[in-house]
């Protein structure tokens, strides 16, 4: 079994937390990993395979120029490890744009894919997550790209969550096909045509609204990267504020503290469903390899879950399934 390449230098808490997560993945999952980074800074990595990389792309660095000039960076070396067959997949909590650029430039894109897209799982209480894509890779899109995002999202939904017939929706400002900006209207016209989702096993359910993302009404929500990233950050911020407000209320008086003693055992598991560290990270779809993009603030649990998802997608043959879906519609 090839190891999963973990960018040890990427993330707000790198490298210590990343190394700790990689070690846990080996111990708890039995999945081999190779840490990519500066060996002298990887304390706690004893016994783990290390692929040396002398440079680190900062979280706020320009993605394109950094990847082009920092050829010995941990991100570039991780992507090359997948390309060269040294690793099965790559995981990074580092600079998202640079992760995408490294994967695209080193692994290459699947033949027929117009643009790779970031597919992010959005937690939904008591059911499988909704896949939102694009969540930030392509700020400007055309209708044909969004159609392809829908196909790739449906394939991911089937392989990752076992949903036989994923429901694909187009994010808009109303359910009616006449609602939305020119991009949404033109995309809806293409998605309304029969057959485009057959190869991915999905079904088009029409326009969906922002309130539907965290519902059981849809499995895959398609949008451009600008809108998708705004929606994602709004959901993250809103949920975080709500959870913090609830904890604040529980701690405000003696009566609410007593109520908390009763309610918290039931609420904590619910809050854990919304914790991004438990989702396994987003996935860059459309490149010739499995690439997991973890949150910049990822803890060691997030890295464990990212390695788990990467390994599962390798075993499921996700890239081959995506390749089949795209080639069938060329």
* Three state DSSP letters for 30-45: CCCEEEEECHHHCCCC
**Structural domain boundaries enclosing 330:** 1-113+286-330
Residue 264 within a domain: no
pTM: 0.93
Residue 28 within a domain: yes
Q: Average pLDDT over the chain, rounded to whole?
A: 94
Mean pLDDT of 226-246: 91
Question: How many domains is the chain built from?
Answer: 1
pLDDT tens figures, 243-281: 889 889 988 999 999 888 898 888 888 888 888 888 889
pLDDT tens figures, 123-148: 998 899 999 999 999 999 999 999 99
Output the CA–CA distances (angstroms, integers) from residue 21 to 248, 273, 275, 284, in the order listed.
30, 19, 16, 21
Contact 87, 78 (CB under 8 A): yes
pLDDT tens figures, 96-109: 999 999 999 999 99
pLDDT at 244: 87
Residue 260 main-chain phi, psi, to 5 deg: -60, -35
Residue 103 within a domain: yes
Residue 192 within a domain: no
Residue 95 within a domain: yes
Residue 241 within a domain: no
pLDDT at 240 over 90: no
What is the rounded distance in angstroms from the CA atom of residue 229 to the CA atom of residue 155? 21
pLDDT at 45 over 90: no
pLDDT at 322 over 80: yes
Residue 135 within a domain: no
Residue 79 within a domain: yes
What is the rounded distance in angstroms from the CA atom of residue 146 to the CA atom of residue 160? 20
pLDDT at 178 over 80: yes
Q: What is the CATH number of the domain that holds 26?
A: 3.40.718.10
Long-range contacts of 56-63 (CB under 8 A, 24+ apart): 56/9, 56/10, 57/10, 57/94, 57/95, 57/98, 58/95, 59/11, 59/12, 59/94, 59/95, 59/296, 60/95, 61/95, 61/98, 62/97, 63/95, 63/96, 63/97, 63/98, 63/100, 63/101
Q: Which residues share a beta bridge with 204?
A: 168
- What percent of the chain is modeled with pLDDT above 90? 80
């Amino acid at each position: 079994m090839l190891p999963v390449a973990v960018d040890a230098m990427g993330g707000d808490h790198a490298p210590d937390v990343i190394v700790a997560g990689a070690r846990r993945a080996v111990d708890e999952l039995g999945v081999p990993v190779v840490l990519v980074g500066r060996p002298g800074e990887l304390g706690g990595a004893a016994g783990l395979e290390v692929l040396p990389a002398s440079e680190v792309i900062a979280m706020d660095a320009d993605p394109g120029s950094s990847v082009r000039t920092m050829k010995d960076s941990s991100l570039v070396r991780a992507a090359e490890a997948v390309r060269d067959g040294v690793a099965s997949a790559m995981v990074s909590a580092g600079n998202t744009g640079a992760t995408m650029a490294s994967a695209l430039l080193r692994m290459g894109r699947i033949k027929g894919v117009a643009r790779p897209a970031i597919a992010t799982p959005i937690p939904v209480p008591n059911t499988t997550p909704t896949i939102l894509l694009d969540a930030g890779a392509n700020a400007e899109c055309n209708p044909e790209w969004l159609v392809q995002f829908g196909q790739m999202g449906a394939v991911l939904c089937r392989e990752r969550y076992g949903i036989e017939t994923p429901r694909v929706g187009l994010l808009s400002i109303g359910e009616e096909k006449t609602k939305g900006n020119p991009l949404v209207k033109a995309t809806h016209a293409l998605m309304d045509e029969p057959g485009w989702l057959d190869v991915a096993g999905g079904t088009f359910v029409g326009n969906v609204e922002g309130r539907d993302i965290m519902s059981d009404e849809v499995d895959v929500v398609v949008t451009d990267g600008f809108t998708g990233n705004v929606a994602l950050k709004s959901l993250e911020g809103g949920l975080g504020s709500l959870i913090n407000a609830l904890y604040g209320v529980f701690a405000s008086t003696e009566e609410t503290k007593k109520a908390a003693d009763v309610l918290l055992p039931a609420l904590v598991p619910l809050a854990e469903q919304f914790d991004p560290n438990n989702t396994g990270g987003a996935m860059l779809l459309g490149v010739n390899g499995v690439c997991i993009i973890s949150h910049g603030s990822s803890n060691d649990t997030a890295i464990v879950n990212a390695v788990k998802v990467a390994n599962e997608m390798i075993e499921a043959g996700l890239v081959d399934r995506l390749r089949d879906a795209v080639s069938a519609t060329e």
